[in-house]
Structure 1
Amino acid sequence: MDVTIYHWKNGGEESYIVRKQELVPLFSEDEKVIDGFQLRQRMKESPQYLIFLSLQAYRTEEVQEVKTYEEFLESDCELIFRVIDSSYITMYVKDQEQIERLYVNAKNYGFENVSYITDENDCETTLTVWG
């Protein structure tokens, strides 16, 4: 997916890039929104160590805090990407074609236990990683 077309709101979680064998925060404390070009560059320049991460994708710089699925549906947020405990990854995506491409990509890269989140199997009460 093209991350550069979005502005990314980060939830201030615990995520790092590895520089010279040291962990450096992926985002500074005051960096709440990053444009897609900066995010792509940062992710390409160094390996990442993602423990807890929540990113929300918007087409404009005007972002809002989305904490629940209902808020996600009503917002301009197009995608939420979460990493919990370095191993549990979820994505909420409004565009059906993009969901399908992400699903196929995850399977092609060998991710295990890939499944669609539906109303029947979603037990989440919040879309934040600390929820």
Structure 2
Amino acid sequence: MINMGVSFKIPNEYGNHLSDILEPLPFNYYQWLINNDEIHIVHDNEFTNQFLFDEDKIISGEKLYEKSKNNTYYMVFVTLRAFLKDGTIKSVSKYKEFTESDCQIILAVYDCSYVIFWCKNSQLVSKMYMYALSKGYEDIKYITEEELIKNKYYIE
């Protein structure tokens, strides 16, 4: 049984949780495709009319981390796909598409607090699992290749 990902639950509150999730990853090695995002910037504990990613849909790892670290926001949902800088960027949702593509990581947050992380690098999968434990996140589970093949997990 091969672990291909991790799922866990983050606090459902304002903050900069996306940068926290990115922390154990070599985010700067990748270009990130941003899909299906609704992340509201918060100022003085109030939603603003601004979104964290209002224009950029392909973003460098450095810019992704900087935006997610230097703002306070409320994540409703977001899907991020990481590609090596010379890789072909395209949206993938199913496990088979993921394995056949240049996509290296899929990171999705939905319903404000549920996180799904798929990764082709088993060391990063283990690192994310241990990091989630250290942060005190809830419902931390490995996602096995068998579960992904059976389409238990589908990412928009």
- The aligned residue for residue 25 of structure 1 is 51
Q: How many residues align?
A: 126
Q: For CA contacts below 8 A with separation 6 or more, give which structure has more relative contact order.
A: 2
Unpaired runs of 5+ residues, structure 1, are none
CA distance in 1: counterparts of 2:133 and 2:60, whole angstroms: 28
- The aligned residue for residue 79 of structure 1 is 105
The structure where strand makes up a greater share of residues is 2
C-alpha change, 1:120 and 1:73, in structure 2 (3 Å) is closer
- The aligned residue for residue 3 of structure 1 is 27
Unpaired runs of 5+ residues, structure 2, are 1-24
- The aligned residue for residue 16 of structure 1 is 40
SS of the residue 1:78 aligns to: strand
Asked if the contact 2:38–2:75 (Cα under 8 Å) also holds between the matched residues in 1, the reply is yes
Superposed counterparts of 1:99-118, under 5 Å: 99-118=125-144
Asked if the contact 1:13–1:52 (Cα under 8 Å) also holds between the matched residues in 2, the reply is yes
- The aligned residue for residue 124 of structure 2 is 98
TM-score (norm 2): 0.74
The letter for the 2-side match of 1:10 is I
Q: Is it true that 1:36 corresponds to 2:61 in the alignment?
A: yes
TM-score (norm 1): 0.87
